[in-house]
Amino acid sequence: MKDCAIAHELDRALLGPHSHSGSSLMRAHWNIRQLQKAAQDTLSFAPQQAARIRTEVMARVLPLAAPATASAMPGV
């Protein structure tokens, strides 16, 4: 269940404090149904939430993975 809480908070860190939804892992307040799903490892992001997370991660990671240009590396 901790992994669901961590995933929920990582989503908020990536997408901001207003990334809650009415359902799924990003529900603002989990009820007994979400807690049961979390305990069974079946609580997940909705497809559109997962897509937004992938897009945000790629936007942050790709610039770091880009090869250095010659102008960025004087003398090389």
pLDDT digits (tens, 9 = 90+) for 7-29: 999 999 988 888 888 888 999 99
| Residue 36 tokens, joined | 């049961």
Range of the domain at 21: 1-51
Task: Tell which wins on pLDDT, 48 or 71.
Answer: 48
Classify residue 27: in a domain, yes or no.
yes
Top-confidence residue, 51 or 68: 51
Sign (positive/negative) of CA torsion 25, 28, 30, 31? negative
Distance, CA of 12 to CA of 45 (rounded, Å): 12
In a domain, 65, yes or no: no
**Cα 39 from Cα 58, distance rounded (Å):** 29
pLDDT band at 65 (very low <50, low <70, confident <90, very high): confident
> 57 in a domain, yes or no?
no
Does residue 28 contact residue 65 with C-beta atoms inside 8 Å? no
**What is the C-alpha separation between 75 and 19, in angstroms, rounded?**
45
| Total domains present in the chain | 1
Q: What is the structure's pLDDT at 72?
A: 55
